[in-house]
Structure 1
């Protein structure tokens, strides 16, 4: 569609444009003058119109974090972008632009109404992050395949859809297809969907819908299984024992061990290798089970710690509220007396008593805060001591089990070396019953070659085992250190905020009597 301003130089969304737009849409008359003088904080703006401005690129909207409505229609925008900060957006109009692809909406999870009318869009896609989508208008675009509508089945809240003006609408089966596959729709192309149309659509596509719903259910089950597996893996990582409930560590030793992979082809080695793997994985499983058990202990300890902190803070707050309520009652009574007292001497005495009361309230509130600080400090020390003991036990026990893994590797290496020496002797005497693969035969040219190959393989395995041990020790230590630093930092921040709160309250009390009763 041609626009009169297409010949005008494209505009850039800069601060000047944004300032003018905000002022134009802000309060008028006296309130508008005050707002213009004081300036408007963009982060407080809820609605913004940037239509008919010949904008080519969406940019510089990062400050509008509270924006709920954005109107950018009738521009020359080619790409949906630059909106990641608009996390509270509920209504977006980008109609009459040059957009070719639906994209850039990942962060707009609260979006309910999306208008992309009159653009160049060919596919309905990349809207998975919009679970609340209620209205979608993509009329006058280039969508030409009915299958595009199936994508919209993932939006259970979608009630209004406009596709009019797209090539797909020329398909004779378009309307019934849309109604059948999008049974939650109320309005299609500006018209209410009647019950007769729904029944016809359902009857026509009943079989295909049944198959599609079955496939969707299977996909949903698979996705749920993936989510559950991902959650379990995350828990295993938090326990520092991920993949140790399988043969992953054992297999990783051979993935980067070309010599070991060649030696695995040695006749008669398979049984010994299988026995080695079974014992290796058995010990890994013990590490995993112990790690998960200790993880549950740490979680329980953290829950009890958090409960203890919350209970202490709640009890302290209750005492502080009692102190404040008592003083507020006293203040109310005193202010009433001061209002009816004309004797200057009595008034001065009562005001002095009030200030003494304020000082006493300050002392009580600060005393309660210091009492809480001491209580929490002791609780945090106990928690840190308990967690340190738990982490030490974890590392010590796992290191003992990893020593067993290392011993299994050493034992296997010795047996392998012994077997290879026997094979080498047969190869030298030309007494081998089975033909060795060429890669393997190259290792049995002499004793040094085979010993070096076995040694290289052994080193790779030990490095893998050592790295896994170091990883557990390092990650567990880093977690404990970081967690305790955060706890101390949070408590420091809480204390500072409370002191400021008490100070502001006391200052308010002092100012209040001076404002009302000082001449």
Structure 2
């Protein structure tokens, strides 16, 4: 039995291979994925099993396909697969694909084979969170990256690529479910002790190159890479801490987006001052008083940012509270209106049921031999009664809806004024703090300018003094030489040995740094002359003020945009609700009118004389009818 099954499978594989080979022979030019190709491949794929044959009988439904094989088809680009929403296995090996793309809709995919292609980069896999098996064997990939979201990936085959750096192995630690790895024939694998490196740095990995990793290999790896592994763990811990901090900032920013003060509870704005200000960053190298000035500057700016943040949070809570009160008011009048509307609807249904019962009685009387003329009068009365009932109900419910719409519009207008006041108040408070922030920037810039000018003057003074000393020394030297010549001082002849002895005994004098050389290298370009220094100071001030202006503009524009969108949404939602309600009321009346007409037509089949009047309610302008909730009931014995 098993032998027969195995032979059948072998035959199917050979048949599939022959089919693919024929396709390659027939289509030597580069191919594209289109409906015809997919249909051909799916038909061949499904014909090999009974379930597939049954599916083909109903035609090909792409949304039901769970496995797709597009192999040896000379495909250049991944495309046209978005309709296969439930695809679980996709094999596209042995093609000419250069880029991983257009897979974002295949969220159910569990196995992906892109081996034997020309892919250069791992990318666009972030939506395939259910992926368990990935093969990228024999491509042109040089780095393992962009796989952070593949938390369920268990098997990865990425052998015969261009991976050289062992750091790529450390990246795989981000895949918690990874148990089997193949990296054979990559440049990095030829280096000594690579398999021990794998065994050490991926402790949860069970198979490497389809062979179980032994305890001995892990022990040897630990001996070789013990210190490196501990250092990696420390770096990983630091990176995780940094990532957690960034993620928390991003999360807080999203949570604070509705209050328009995202990141103002951090030092991000202050850091942006110097990130965009190379001149200011260079001037901080002056040190001393500038360092103290910088610390105070930082405290003031960050403190003001946090003040704006607190105001934003408080104002957001007030807006939320007011919106809750507004929605409660709308809900209250809506429930009250709905209750009255239901009362009219229920009365309409009750009266309609009574009229239909009387129509059925007329049918019975006709069958009992009652006079058609007498029955005609009763039918006229019932027709009129239903028309009056429908018209009055429609008008009453529409009047309620009109009243409700007016009340909600009034509430919208009131809430609009409240919202405008809140936003204006928030913006006014925030702008007041931004004004203070600009004053702080101005004060810092003025103090920095004063210190920088003093520093520059000191450098210039020291240069002048050094130059005076040099000139004075040169002058003294020339005077001494002149005196020696005038006095006819005898030349003392020394032997070469004596000169060497004296030379060795005198230490070489180290040339002193000039005042300009003592300036930090990053600062030197800005203190070469007074004009350059002043330009640097002015540029630094402008950058800081621009950062403040940009953040203020962002806050104000986002607050105004939110305000406009919120108010627009209030009115648009009410207009849409009103239209939907009118359609609902009209549809309700029309449905029951059609039901009444249907019952009326049954009497027509009995050849009772029917009044020619149409039973049409829409488009009429009937007069108001008193009695009940808009209806005067007719006595059943009126005819008598």
Label 1:214 to 1:471 Cα distance change in 2 as closer, same or farther (>3 A).
closer
Q: Is 1:380 aligned with 2:398?
A: no
Q: Deviations over 1:8-64 (max 9, x none)?
A: 567654456678999999xxxxxx99x99xxx998x878797889958477664773
In the alignment, what sits opposite 1:234?
254
Query: TM-score, structure 2 length as denominator?
Result: 0.56
| Structure 1: unaligned runs, 5 residues or longer | 26-31, 168-179, 184-188, 190-207
In the alignment, what sits opposite 1:6?
24
Q: Deviations over 1:83-122 (max 9, x none)?
A: 5574675788879997989978757668689898999999
Q: Is 1:287 aligned with 2:308?
A: yes
Which structure would you say has the larger Rg?
A: 2
Label 1:16 to 1:229 Cα distance change in 2 as closer, same or farther (>3 A).
same
In the alignment, what sits opposite 2:297?
276
Instruction: Give the drift of 1:397.
Output: 0.9
Q: Would you say the 8 A contact 1:362–1:506 is kept in 2?
A: yes
- The CA distance in 2 between the partners of 1:57 and 1:229, in whole Å, is 42
Q: Would you say the 8 A contact 1:102–1:127 is kept in 2?
A: no
In the alignment, what sits opposite 1:497?
580
| Structure 2: unaligned runs, 5 residues or longer | 1-16, 47-55, 162-167, 186-202, 211-225, 367-374, 467-514, 603-640
Label 1:218 to 1:334 Cα distance change in 2 as closer, same or farther (>3 A).
farther
In the alignment, what sits opposite 1:456?
539
> Which residues of 2 match residues 468-507 of structure 1 at below 5 A?
468-507=551-590
- The CA distance in 1 between the partners of 2:352 and 2:547, in whole Å, is 72
> Which residues of 2 match residues 75-154 of structure 1 at below 5 A?
86=105, 89=108, 106=125
- The CA distance in 2 between the partners of 1:405 and 1:322, in whole Å, is 62
Q: Deviations over 1:416-436 (max 9, x none)?
A: 444455556655655999956
Q: 2:528 aligns with which of 417, 442, 450?
A: 442
- The CA distance in 2 between the partners of 1:414 and 1:426, in whole Å, is 18
Label 1:13 to 1:333 Cα distance change in 2 as closer, same or farther (>3 A).
farther
- The CA distance in 1 between the partners of 2:175 and 2:579, in whole Å, is 46
State the SS of the aligned residue for 2:286. coil
In the alignment, what sits opposite 2:622?
none
In the alignment, what sits opposite 2:264?
244
State the SS of the aligned residue for 1:277. helix
Q: 1:265 aligns with which of 256, 280, 286?
A: 286
In the alignment, what sits opposite 1:391?
423
Instruction: Give the drift of 1:265.
Output: 0.8
Structure with more contact order per residue of length (Cα contacts < 8 Å, sep ≥ 6): 2
Q: Is 1:509 aligned with 2:595?
A: no
State the SS of the aligned residue for 2:419. helix
In the alignment, what sits opposite 1:194?
none
- The CA distance in 2 between the partners of 1:336 and 1:119, in whole Å, is 81
When the two structures are aligned, how many residues end up with a matched partner? 496
Query: TM-score, structure 1 length as denominator?
Result: 0.66
Instruction: Give the drift of 1:393.
Output: 1.1
> Which residues of 2 match residues 21-420 of structure 1 at below 5 A?
56=75, 61=80, 64=83, 86=105, 89=108, 106=125, 181=204, 227-254=247-274, 255-258=276-279, 261-262=282-283, 265=286, 267-309=288-330, 313=334, 316-317=337-338, 319-340=340-361, 341-342=363-364, 345=375, 346-420=378-452
